[in-house]
Structure 1
Amino acid sequence: MADTGVGGGAKTPPPPGEKTSGGADGDSLSAGVIVYDRSKNGSGSSVGAVASSTSWTPPACWYAPKYTPAQLQAYLEPIWEADSTGYEWDAQQRDRYVNGHPYKDFNKDKADKGYWWDSYVDKSFPPGWDKCDEPIFWVDKGDAPPANIENAVTPKILAELAYNEIRVPTTQVSLAPAGTTKVNLATWAWLDKATFKPVSVTASVPLLGISATTTAVPVSLKIDPGTSDAVTYPASGACEINNGSIGEKYTQGDADKTPPCGVKYLRSSGNGSYQLKATVTWKISWTGSDGNGGDLPDGTFGNPQNVTVQEIQSVNR
């Protein structure tokens, strides 16, 4: 469970994965009401999560339905019986949830009319996860949660949580020459559109009938040669997407041309290699079931690959 105490008490992290699925089944509410559809996400053995290009992060905690009346009773009564939170605290909680100030007998007479809401915490426990310390509260079906509750789940919050679930393909750029190149020789770089396409994740709360889809679209490739002894094409190192591809594939006859996307090393890598890092920027946006939507911060994802650079050997006659 997510609480060691109720009504503003200290919070403890929920079990890993608690937010990945959920719903209602009769008198029970599963431990995680958010359902994710990842069928249009990046797939395969080589994918990764995007990192926000700004200081923004998805919500560390949020409020959503968590208990039916029977479940709240089953959760709280063992805590009270164990006297683990102290007599005075337990008495206050009994008064709140059992004695009618403001709830009576865990709202059992309204079991089919609503749910007890409580906080959920991102499974990575980022800074701020312990800020959701409102007491467990009741919301009737069809009603909005109290106005003073920050981070009550909405389509926008679902979109921000889906941001965390986006997975994009590893950026292994094609190079020509591949693997080993020469000093002062332009190396072409490109990503083919066949392996580079938009991905999306939909998050929903079926209990509330709300959802949001977060979509990531690749827009540019940033090349870091791994050394200051190099120049990039273009000079900024940022290669824009063009007709679904980034850069241009090298073909015979291009040797004397300047690549639209690439790098030229000015010094040998000696007995080792340079770590060329290719980072893709993904433009991320969302649409919600309430008709709202918009942009979220761009995401980035990249990885290094080895490039060996050799001196051009001259022949004396």
Structure 2
Amino acid sequence: MPALNRPRTLALCVAGAAILLLNTPPALADGSHNQAPPPPPKKNTSGKTDGNGNLSASAGVVYDKSNNGQGSHAGPIAPQGNWTPPPCWYAPKYTPAQLKAYLEPIWGAESTGYEWDAKQRKHYADGDAKDGDYKDFNKAKTGKGYWWDSYVDDTRIGEPGALACDKPPFWVDKGDPPPADVPQAITPEILSQLAYAEIRVPDTKVTLAPGGATKVNLPTWAWLDKGDFKPVSVTASVPVLNISATTTATPVSLKIEPGTADAELYPASGECAINGDGSIGTPYANGDADKTPPCGLTYLRASGNNGPYKLKATITWKINWTGTGGAGGTLPTGTFGTTQDVTVDEIQAVNR
């Protein structure tokens, strides 16, 4: 299908609006006409059909988060390096009736100019197939394919990358791949990256012992219970295409930053590897006060009147994915960390 040449000045004027307006799915799934542009799609949508080949209100990416990190303190992983998930992608969005219901009110309002509207009408509604155009929005192929269009991560609207998916809606028959000149067309690999953005991991408040305020020059043991730090995953799918990908984050190490230069770390790097059972460090036991902990630290100076030290605990998470058709691989390692207050007192000596 030949690409439509949009006027450059118009594209610049409506670039931001295109994300919210031209790339928005119809509000009705039964093919009835909308009288106004529908609301923007939500990221987490059902993506199901009505049994007759009609797409739901949005047939974008569906997320299964049942194995995701839970709780009010769970947070997103920060990928290492400059990597980010794609801000936009292409996937099925309209049936013939839905595209008609979406575009005709826009043309009727002449909001994009007569010349542009005329080109659009010729291409989608009044064209000749031998010229690469369509008749009545390809209604004759209802149930045999979908109109694809762009989706934008609603948390990244306005980013330069979000404007990269600027192709007009294009038709793809069921079972056929999208055009080769559409690198952002949805695939299991892209789904794995979108799932990465949805992963949430628990906070990293470590257990410190001996309990209460720690003491200067007294080894402090640090550990994380194995039950709190286990792999989490999110599955992203496009049901109408029968493709999916599951992205899994697995904790591999804990890094401790004491919040002051006046401290000694164990090990010296501050990196505590995960144990075979999924725990990190070793719980403190009576009689361990004078032992060197496998994971922990010793403060060399009291926190004093400036308030407690801000100990930062950061977990490194390894990221893997598997997808439809045996696809799979790794994604950039990520981290998630939190801080906690640690009060350090001087050891009080008693003079006899």
TM-score range for the pair, normalised by the shorter chain length: over 0.9
Q: What SS is found at the alignment partner of 2:342?
A: strand
* 1:58 maps to which of 67, 85, 89: 85
* 2:343 maps to which of 308, 313, 316: 308
Who is 2:115 aligned against? Answer: 88
Q: 1:59 & 1:92 partners in 2: Cα distance?
A: 30
Who is 1:250 aligned against? Answer: 284
Q: What is the one-letter code of the residue matched to 1:38?
A: K
Q: What SS is found at the alignment partner of 1:290?
A: helix
Q: Which moved more, 1:153-162 or 1:267-276?
A: 267-276
What do the CA deviations read for 1:217-245 (whole angstroms, capped 9, x no partner)? 11000111111221211111110001211
Q: What SS is found at the alignment partner of 1:24?
A: coil
Q: 2:115 & 2:312 partners in 1: Cα distance?
A: 59
* 1:121 maps to which of 142, 145, 152: 152
1:1-317 → structure 2 map (5 Å cutoff)? 9=11, 10=15, 11-13=18-20, 15=40, 17-25=42-50, 26=52, 27-100=54-127, 101-125=132-156, 127=159, 128-243=161-276, 244-271=278-305, 272-317=307-352
What do the CA deviations read for 1:148-184 (whole angstroms, capped 9, x no partner)? 0011000001111000111111111100023411111
Q: 1:307 & 1:16 partners in 2: Cα distance?
A: 45
Determine if contact 2:90/2:184 at 8 Å carries over to the other structure: yes
Determine if contact 1:179/1:306 at 8 Å carries over to the other structure: no
Unaligned ranges ≥5, structure 1: 1-5
Q: 1:108 & 1:29 partners in 2: Cα distance?
A: 17
Deviation at 1:143, TM superposition (A): 0.2
Determine if contact 2:41/2:58 at 8 Å carries over to the other structure: no
Q: What SS is found at the alignment partner of 1:29?
A: coil
Q: What SS is found at the alignment partner of 2:189?
A: helix
Deviation at 1:315, TM superposition (A): 2.4
Deviation at 1:18, TM superposition (A): 3.2
Q: 2:236 & 2:193 partners in 1: Cα distance?
A: 9
Determine if contact 2:218/2:290 at 8 Å carries over to the other structure: no
TM-score (norm 1): 0.94
Q: 2:289 & 2:317 partners in 1: Cα distance?
A: 31
Determine if contact 2:59/2:240 at 8 Å carries over to the other structure: no
Counterparts in 2 of 1:292 and 1:28: CA distance versus 1, 3 Å: closer
Q: 1:16 & 1:263 partners in 2: Cα distance?
A: 49
Q: 1:7 & 1:65 partners in 2: Cα distance?
A: 22
Q: 2:339 & 2:148 partners in 1: Cα distance?
A: 45
Q: What is the one-letter code of the residue matched to 2:340?
A: Q
Q: Which moved more, 1:90-99 or 1:177-186?
A: 177-186
Q: 1:201 & 1:76 partners in 2: Cα distance?
A: 34
Deviation at 1:16, TM superposition (A): 6.3
Determine if contact 1:63/1:119 at 8 Å carries over to the other structure: yes
Higher helix share: 2
What do the CA deviations read for 1:260-307 (whole angstroms, capped 9, x no partner)? 111111111113101111111111100011211111111211111110
Identity of aligned residues (%): 66
Determine if contact 2:44/2:63 at 8 Å carries over to the other structure: no
Paired residues, number: 312
Q: 2:281 & 2:164 partners in 1: Cα distance?
A: 45
Superposed CA RMSD in Å reads 1.6
Deviation at 1:7, TM superposition (A): 6.9
TM-score (norm 2): 0.85
Q: What SS is found at the alignment partner of 1:109?
A: helix
